[in-house]
Amino acid sequence: MTAKYINPYTDFGFKKLFGEEGSKDLLVDFLNQLLPSHHQIADLSFKNPENLDDTEQGRTAIFDIYCQTDTGAKFIVEMQKAKVNFFKDRSLFYSTFPIREQAEKGGWDFRLLPIYFIAILDFHYDEQEEMRKFRRDVSLKDQDGELFYDKLHFKFLQMPLFNKQAEELETHFDKWVYFLKNLETFDHIPSILNEPIFNKGFEIAEIAHLKPEQCEQYQKSLLEYWEVKNVKDTAFYEGKSEGLMEGKVEGKKEGKMEVAKALKQQNIAIEIIAATTGLTEAEVEKL
């Protein structure tokens, strides 16, 4: 069955829901569920998602969503599709950009405004199963567990660990996570999500409402998502198959076929799958 709503884990889908002026109220409502009462957002503005460092190395950080609230607090919101090396290190590195951005020339007294790094993860970053938590709120604390600094926060959501069903949702935050995790599978608006903010989200996410050029962008983004989920996260890309890592043809083709199978399940056109994976249309048809 063809999906009615976009996949929010895709780059296009995530930015369509949260990264446009017309959907800004969705982002504000979602973020406020993660924030303490004294950091609640009334309004925000989007900033350039590409930040250039001024070090000799010239390192670049490109954020999914980078925004600033009406009070000056800065937010980086990332959607991570697949596990990357040194994810925690990367998160800390990204947080340094909005810190340094606040540095003023001249007689600056080093006062900083709050910074939040929020990551929505479509994978487990906790290696040990017994240590896994769906939501992890991280801040600077002292040896007694008391908050030392209240202006730098990290919030990680491991989406695979959220398993609540509709009848188990207790909070507005629960509803947001349920909405994001299941959006692509819905064929109608569940009664539990029949609220103005989610109704707007469903309207924005409905594929039938996209313009032709947006549909094309979304299809490309969806193909990329499935390629990541069904190739990069497989044993081939985990280094368990040296054949693919060394570029052997057999390994590559097997990986492409895995991607093609997943795309066929999403009812992607055969010619698009063939063009994306490098397989022939006949090979795709046989899958």
CA distances in angstroms from 38 to 17, 83, 126, 264, listed in the order given? 25, 33, 30, 48
Same domain, 53 and 41: yes
Judge whether 167 lies within some domain. Answer: yes
Judge whether 176 lies within some domain. Answer: yes
**pLDDT tens sequence across 32-86:** 999 988 889 999 999 887 765 555 445 566 789 999 998 899 999 999 888 777 8
**pLDDT tens sequence across 157-193:** 999 999 999 999 999 999 999 999 999 999 999 999 9
| Last-in-domain residue among 176, 209, 242 | 209
Same domain, 51 and 131: yes
Same domain, 93 and 225: no
Note the maximum CA span of the chain: 69
b/e map 260-281, b = 16+ CB within 10 Å: bebbeebebebebbbebbebee
**pLDDT tens sequence across 192-215:** 999 999 999 999 999 999 999 999
* Domain that residue 278 falls in: 212-286
Same domain, 216 and 204: no
Same domain, 43 and 144: yes
Check pLDDT > 90 for residue 1. no
> Are 155 and 119 a contacting pair, CB within 8 Å?
yes
Judge whether 3 lies within some domain. Answer: no
Judge whether 4 lies within some domain. Answer: no
Same domain, 87 and 204: yes
Averaged pLDDT score across all residues of the chain? 85
Of 169, 176, 168, nearest in space to 202 by CA: 176
Which residue's structure tokens are 């979304």?
A: 218
Measured between alpha carbons, how far is 101 from 57 in angstroms, rounded to an integer?
17
Domain tally, the chain: 2
> Are 5 and 189 a contacting pair, CB within 8 Å?
no
b/e map 87-115, b = 16+ CB within 10 Å: beeebeebbebbeeeeeeeeeeeeeeebb
List residues bridging with 157 in a β-sheet: 120, 135
What is the CB neighbour count within 10 angstroms for residue 32?
Answer: 17
Q: What is the pTM of this model?
A: 0.79
Burial class (CB in 10 A: 0-12, 13-18, 19+), 122: buried
Same domain, 123 and 231: no
Measured between alpha carbons, how far is 250 from 8 in angstroms, rounded to an integer?
33
